[in-house]
Amino acid sequence: MSQAAILVTRAIFPDQLERLQAQFQVESNQQDSIWSPDELVARLQGKAGVFMTGVEKVDAALLAQCPQLRICANMTVGYNNFDLAAMSAVGVLGTNAPDVLTESTADFAFALLLATARRITESEHYLRAGLWKHWRYDLFAGAEVHGSTLGIIGMGRIGQAIARRAALGFGMRVVYHNRSRLSAELEHSLHAEYLGKQALLETADHVMLVLPYSAASHHTIGAAELACMKPSATLINVARGGIVDDAALAQALRAGTLAAAGLDVFEGEPAVHPDLLTVPNVVLTPHIASATEGTRRAMAALAVDNLIGYLSGGAARTPLNLAQLDTGAQAARVAS
């Protein structure tokens, strides 16, 4: 058995923990307690690798205090918890878990769109409160989904999977905005049309956010962008908290300048902006877009594969910064 020591920061599937224990000395947090940054640093002492959930921050300050750390493996596709430049400078590899959650996340994104547009949460609360007395022609009349226009901001793997569902399953017109435009062939296969951001916001009946979080994408949707949208439109965020200005969104929902929103992610989560909890026309879910049994198992397995592959054989399946690693610093960590 390798003498490398690793840390697992949160509870994971027992069979995946056993895979790691067969290869390494493992300290695991199966109690799923939330560690402070200082406690995380303390527990990383002497560790060559760490299994992470995409929440724990890895920055220059942490790396300076963890001289033996060689790989940080996220079980999420997002990696905005990593300062990749700082990691590369000291020879620490970052990995994530792309592809394995694409289809289940796209399914959920569409489920959230349908629940939001068709006012499912509002109507269920109404029924449970005993307020439903009779049928009425306009009772919880929502927005059309089939045949409407879906605007997707962020056209990576998940955005493309959503576009296929929209165009081929619901006969929607699909428009998108992305940092780089897709090839003409891919646009054609997705039945998707590229638009500038403002044109998309003005055009779409439903806007879906599927872009990664970064300093550049912070508050991609704020008060000004919300004002560009149709008053009848819906906004869906299955990307990351911070991409939407949640306070501005709550204000728009309350004022009726936006019809409805569906949110799976929030600024400062697990805290939710209190104003979002008091408006009826928003569907709120606790960051569960990838939460199917099969998908979460595949995400965990990929993170485990990355740890085993890199620490045992030098090859991770989904490296983020391999080409940028300082090889001298990397060698010093291996030798430590």
Q: What pLDDT score was predicted for residue 330?
A: 86
Residue tagged active-site, from 187, 193, 202, 269: 269
Residue reference for tokens 């936006």: 258
Residue tagged active-site, from 240, 273, 296, 333: 240
| 240 classed as catalytic | yes
Which one has a higher pLDDT value, 314 or 9? 9
Q: What is the mean pLDDT of residues 156-164?
A: 97
Q: What is the mean pLDDT of residues 137-152?
A: 98
Per-residue CA distances from 100 to 166, 292, 323 (Å): 21, 11, 23
Q: What pLDDT score was predicted for residue 328?
A: 87
pLDDT digits (tens, 9 = 90+) for 204-244: 999 999 999 999 999 999 999 999 999 999 999 999 999 99
| 333 classed as catalytic | no
Q: What is the mean pLDDT of the chain?
A: 96
Q: SS3 for 155?
A: coil
As a whole number of angstroms, the distance between CA 196 and CA 317 comes to 35
pLDDT digits (tens, 9 = 90+) for 171-191: 999 999 999 999 999 999 999
Over the Cα atoms of the chain, what is R_g?
Answer: 22
Structure tokens that stand for 22 in this block: 């067969």
Amino acid type, 226: L
pLDDT for residue 336 is more than 80? no
pLDDT digits (tens, 9 = 90+) for 239-261: 999 999 999 999 999 999 999 99
User: Which pLDDT band holds residue 5 (cuts at 50, 70, 90)?
Assistant: very high
Residues 6+ apart with CB under 8 A from 102: 157, 158, 161
Q: What is the mean pLDDT of residues 289-310?
A: 98
As a whole number of angstroms, the distance between CA 303 and CA 286 comes to 22
pLDDT digits (tens, 9 = 90+) for 266-276: 999 999 999 99
User: Which pLDDT band holds residue 133 (cuts at 50, 70, 90)?
Assistant: very high
As a whole number of angstroms, the distance between CA 313 and CA 334 comes to 12
pLDDT for residue 2 is more than 80? no
pLDDT for residue 1 is more than 70? no
Domains of the chain listed by start with CATH number: 5-100+293-335 (3.40.50.720), 102-284 (3.40.50.720)
Q: What is the mean pLDDT of residues 284-296?
A: 97
**How many CA atoms are closer than 13 Å to the CA of 159, on its beta-carbon side?**
28
Q: What pLDDT score was predicted for residue 278?
A: 96
Helix 157-164 vs helix 102-117: angle between axes, to the nearest 10 degrees?
50
Residue tagged active-site, from 70, 206, 273, 287: 287
pTM above 0.75, yes or no: yes
Question: Residue 86: which H helix or E strand, with range?
Answer: helix 84-89
| 128 classed as catalytic | no
Q: What is the mean pLDDT of residues 270-284?
A: 97
User: Which pLDDT band holds residue 313 (cuts at 50, 70, 90)?
Assistant: confident
